[in-house]
Chain A
C-alpha cells in the first residue's frame, strides 16, 4: 500500500484519540525531554569550560608556595627574582615566566565604585595569558622597574567607569587596605566573558599592574607565586615538576612548592560529566522503555478495536505487509510525535536550567538526529509485535468481529 496513505491513516487515527495518544507518548516525552535537556546543558557547560580553558591557557602553569603546610613555611622558602630568572633559563620548554600576586580591591572614579581583582605581574605576563590589547599598551619594563602607578583594565570596566569617554590616560583611585592610591590607566584589554571565570573571580573586574607597584602599595615584598607558559601543553605536568625540583634545589628544601594547572580541574569535570551522563542515560533508558511498552499496549488495543477494519482491508486486497506497515507506521508516528514534544520540553527545560547555571545550552544537530533515530527505533521495536498480530489476522474471522 501507498506509504503516504498509511501515514494519513495513522495521523487520522491518532487525532481521533488525542488524549489517549498523548498519555501513551508520556514516557517518550519524558525520556527524550530529559536527555535533550541534560545533554544540551552539559554541552553548554563543556563549551563554557573550553572558553575558560582558552582564557587561562592550556599551556599555562602557576607555581606557588604550598600553603597546605603554611605552618612549615619560613621566609627562606619565599620565591625570589633569582628563581624567576633561573626558571626562564631552564631551556626551550619555557616560553615565558612572570611573578604573580593578586589582591582584592576597589576602584573609584567620582561616585562610581567597582570591585577589582588586581594581578601584580611583570611585562612578560602578556605572553603567558591570552591578553588582547584594544587600546593603549600593556605594562612595560619602565613601569616595572620604576614601580609606576599604572593599570591595565578591560573594556567592560572602562565602559562602566567612563562610559563613552576615552579611558586611556585617565586616573582612577584604588584602595589598598585603608589607603587610597591614584593610578593612571595605560591600556585597555578585551573583556573575556566566561561564566566559569566569573564564578572563580566573583563579579570583580580583573586588572593588571606592575608587581613592583603592587608590592609597594600593599607593603609586601615577598613573592609567593609565578606564572609560567610552557612550549608544549602535553608536557605541562612534567615541566611543572622540573620547575618545582629546581626551586627545591635552589632553596635546599622540599615539599614547599606546588603547581596549579587546569588538567586536574578538567579531569574532575570530565569525571563528573560522565557519571552524570550515565545516570541520565539510565533514567532516560527506563522512561523510554516504559514509553515503548505504552506504545505497544496502545497499539494492541488499537489492533483489537480495528479488527473489523483489518478484515475489510484484507477483503479488499490488502496483504500482510500492507497491514504490517500500516500499524508499524502508526507506532512510529506516535513515537516520533512523542519525541518531538519531548525535544520541545527538553529545550525549554534546558533554557530554564541554563538561566540558573549562567551559561547557554548547546543544541547540536547530531543530538536532534539521534533523538529522531531513537524514537523511530522505539516505534519500530515496540510496534512490530502488535503490527504482526494485525497482519496475521484471519480475514474471515476479522470480518465477523463485533
Chain B
C-alpha cells in the first residue's frame, strides 16, 4: 500500500536548511492501522503531507497503491488526493458556511459524481459516523467531536485507499477522542487502511502498530499486541464520571 525508500524532505529558507525527514523507509500494508508518534518538530506532519500527496519529496521515492507518485505533476497529485486519500485534520478544516452534508459532498464534486449520487453517498457516510440527524447543520452548530466526525465522513466518502489523520483528537476532550477512535477502529475492522499522528500514547495504543520519529528519522517501529478497545474505554470513562457525580 505505502512504500517509501530513503524518503527525504529538506526545507530551504535562504541559506538555512531544515532536514524535516531523513532517509525514511516505511512500509504499510493494506488494512493496517498505524500510529505515528514523536516529539514536536520530528517531522510527523511533514510525512503525512507527503503521504497525502500535498507535498513532494526532496529525494527518495514514494509508491502509493503500486504507483510511484514522487515524480507526478500537480494535476495528477490532485487526482490522487481526490481518489486515494482521505484527510482528517486536527482543526477539522470544514468549510464554515455550508452544511455538514455539503461538506461531505465536496470531494465528490471534484471527482465529477452526479449531484444525486453525491447526496446519497454523503448521507450514507454521515450515517456511518452517527450524524444522520445533524446533516443539515453548519459546522458552527456542531460540537468539536461532531465536526471531526463530519470530517471523517468526508475523508471516507470517496472510498480512499488510505485515511490520513494528523492529530485528529488533538482538539477534543477524552470522551470525544474515544468516540473518534471508536469510529477509526470500526472502519479499520471493515478494511480501511488508517495512519494517524498523535502525541498521546493512550491514543496510539488504540492502533495496531506504533512508529516513532525523532529529528526526521524513523527510530522505532513496534506492534501493539493488545490494542485498547475504544468502546470499552468509553464505557469505563462514563462509569468514572458517574462515580464522581455520586
Residues of A participating in the B interface, judged by any CB pair closer than 8 Å: 1-2, 5, 12, 16, 308-309, 311-322, 395-396, 399
Residues of A contacting B52 in the complex (Cβ-Cβ under 8 angstroms): 315
A1–B111 CA distance with the chains assembled, in angstroms: 8
Residues of A within 8 Å of B81, CB to CB, are 314-317
User: Contact: A320 with B74, CB < 8 Å?
Assistant: yes
**Closest residue of chain B to A392, judged by CB?**
B74
16 additional A-B pairs beyond A2-B115, A316-B154, A399-B54, beta carbons within 8 Å, are A1-B110, A2-B109, A12-B97, A312-B93, A312-B94, A313-B110, A314-B81, A315-B81, A316-B107, A317-B79, A317-B107, A318-B82, A319-B78, A320-B74, A322-B78, A399-B93
Distance of A12 Cα from B99 Cα, bound (Å): 13
Q: How many whole Å from B99's CB to the nearest CB in chain A? A: 12
Decide if A1 touches B109 in the complex (CB within 8 Å). yes
- Tell me, in angstroms, the Cα distance from A39 to B112 when the chains sit together: 44
The proximity string for B residues 81-113 relative to A, scoring 1 for CB distances below 8 Å and 0 otherwise, is 111000101000111010000000011011110
Task: State whether the Cβ of B241 lies closer than 8 Å to any Cβ in chain A.
Answer: no
Residues on A with beta carbons closer than 8 Å to the beta carbon of B107: 316-317
User: Complex Cα distance A396/B55, Å?
Assistant: 7
**B212 interface residue, CB < 8 Å from A?**
no
Cα–Cα distance between A138 and B78 once the two chains are bound (Å): 85
Contacts of A315 in B (CB 8 A): 52, 54, 81, 87, 93
**Shortest distance from the beta carbon of B73 to any chain A beta carbon, whole Å:** 10
B116 at the interface (CB under 8 A from A): no
Chain A residues near B158 (CB-CB < 8 A): 317
Q: Bound complex: CA of A320 vs CA of B78, how far in Å?
A: 9
Distance, CA A308 to CA B78, complexed state (A): 17
CA distance A313 to B87 in the complex (A): 11
A308 to B97, CA, bound (A): 13
Is B49 engaged at the interface, CB distance under 8 Å to the other chain?
yes
Which one of B49, B82, B109, B158 has the highest number of Cβ atoms from chain A below 10 Å of its Cβ? Answer: B109
Q: Are A320 and B82 in contact (CB under 8 A)?
A: no
Give the residues in chain A near B201, CB-CB below 8 Å: none
Contact call A396/B110, Cβ cutoff below 8 A:
no
Known pairs A2-B109, A312-B93; A319 contacts B154 (CB<8 A)? no
User: Interface residue count for B (Cβ, 8 Å)?
Assistant: 26
- Complex Cα distance A320/B54, Å? 13
The 8 tightest CB contacts between A and B, nearest first, are A317-B82, A319-B78, A317-B110, A316-B107, A317-B81, A312-B93, A395-B54, A319-B75
In the bound complex, residues from chain A placing their C-beta under 8 Å from that of B154 are 316
User: Considering the chains assembled together, what is the distance between the CA atoms of A2 and B112 in angstroms?
Assistant: 7
Query: From residue B163, how far is it (CB to closest CB) to chain A in Å?
Result: 13
Name the one of A309, A318, A395 contacting B110, with C-beta atoms under 8 angstroms.
A318
Residue of A16, A313, A320 most packed against chain B (CB within 10 A): A313
Residues of B within 8 A of A314 (CB): 54, 78, 81
Write out the residue numbers on chain B whose beta carbons fall within 8 Å of the beta carbon of A318.
78, 82, 110
Q: Which one of A5, A313, A396 lies within 8 Å of B54 (CB-CB)?
A: A396
Which of the residues B55, B83, B94 comes within 8 Å of A317, measured between beta carbons?
B83
Q: Which of B74, B87, B115 contacts A316 (CB 8 A)?
A: B87
Q: Looking at the assembled complex, report how far the CB atom of B151 sits from the nearest CB atom of chain A, in whole angstroms.
A: 10
Cα distance A16–B97 in the bound complex, in angstroms: 9
Q: How far does the Cβ of B141 sit from chain A's closest Cβ, in whole Å?
A: 17
Assess whether B95 is in contact with A312, with CB atoms less than 8 Å apart. yes
Give chain A nearest CB distance to B236 CB in angstroms. Answer: 35
Contacts of A5 in B (CB 8 A): 109
In angstroms, Cα B75 to Cα A315, docked, is 12
**Assembled-state Cα–Cα distance A87/B112 (Å):** 82
A2: which B residues are within 8 A, CB to CB?
A: 109, 112, 115
Can you give 20 A-B contacts (C-beta < 8 A)? A1-B110, A2-B109, A2-B115, A16-B97, A308-B93, A312-B106, A313-B106, A314-B81, A315-B81, A315-B93, A316-B106, A317-B79, A317-B83, A317-B107, A317-B110, A318-B110, A320-B74, A320-B78, A396-B49, A399-B54
- Complex CA gap A316/B82 in Å reads 5
